[in-house]
């Protein structure tokens, strides 16, 4: 079946450090891939997305590339800020069988000043 595995947190970084959060997936066909972010006390919101192999999604300095050969969609940011502290969810939407989204367990990021 479809599944998403992402690195366990929490991840603690100093401001301006480089961020990588690993995400791998299992799915048949060509799913769409997403990163959602959840700030404290709020619901999830879409951070970026990619719909086909080798696509790069980007937003607010974050990037992720859809790698079909390694079934990965790792999230990166070159210089994190305190305001990036949040929980990050990797997710996929299968290309068949309805409109459900499968979420990873989430990775909490703490950025220290």
Partner 1 sequence: DAEITQSPRHKITETGRQVTLACHQTWNHNNMFWYRQDLGHGLRLIHYSYGVQDTNKGEVSDGYSVSRSNTEDLPLTLESAASSQTSVYFCASSEAGGGVNEQFFGPGTRLTVL
Interface residue with partner 1, options 46, 54, 56, 112 (CB under 8 A)? 46
Q: What's the min distance (Å) between Cβ of 18 and partner 1?
A: 25
Q: What's the min distance (Å) between Cβ of 102 and partner 1?
A: 9
Q: Say if residues 34 and 4 touch (Cβ distance below 8 Å).
A: no
Q: What's the min distance (Å) between Cβ of 49 and partner 1?
A: 6
Give the residue among 74, 80, 84, 81 at the shortest CA–CA distance from 38.
84
Q: What's the min distance (Å) between Cβ of 56 and partner 1?
A: 15
Instruction: Copy the structure tokens of residue 57.
Output: 């999604």
Instruction: Specify burial of residue 73 (Cβ count, 10 A radius: 0-12, 13-18, 19+).
Output: buried
Residue 110 engages partner 1 in binding (rule: CB under 8 A): no
Residues 6+ apart with CB under 8 A from 84: 19, 77, 109, 111
Residue 104 engages partner 1 in binding (rule: CB under 8 A): yes
**Binding residues for partner 1, per CB under 8 A?**
32, 34, 41-46, 49, 51, 89, 93, 98-101, 103-106
């Amino acid at each position: 079946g479809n599944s998403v595995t992402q690195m366990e947190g929490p991840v603690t970084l100093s401001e301006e450090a480089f961020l990588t959060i690993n995400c791998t997936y299992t799915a048949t066909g060509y799913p769409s891939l997403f990163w959602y972010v959840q700030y404290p006390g709020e619901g999830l919101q879409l951070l970026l997305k990619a719909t086909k192999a080798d696509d790069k999604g980007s937003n607010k300095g974050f990037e992720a590339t859809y790698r079909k050969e390694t079934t990965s969609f790792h999230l990166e940011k070159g210089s994190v800020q305190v305001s990036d502290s949040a929980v990050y969810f990797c997710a996929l939407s299968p290309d068949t069988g309805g409109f459900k989204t499968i979420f990873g367990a989430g990775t909490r990021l703490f950025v220290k000043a």
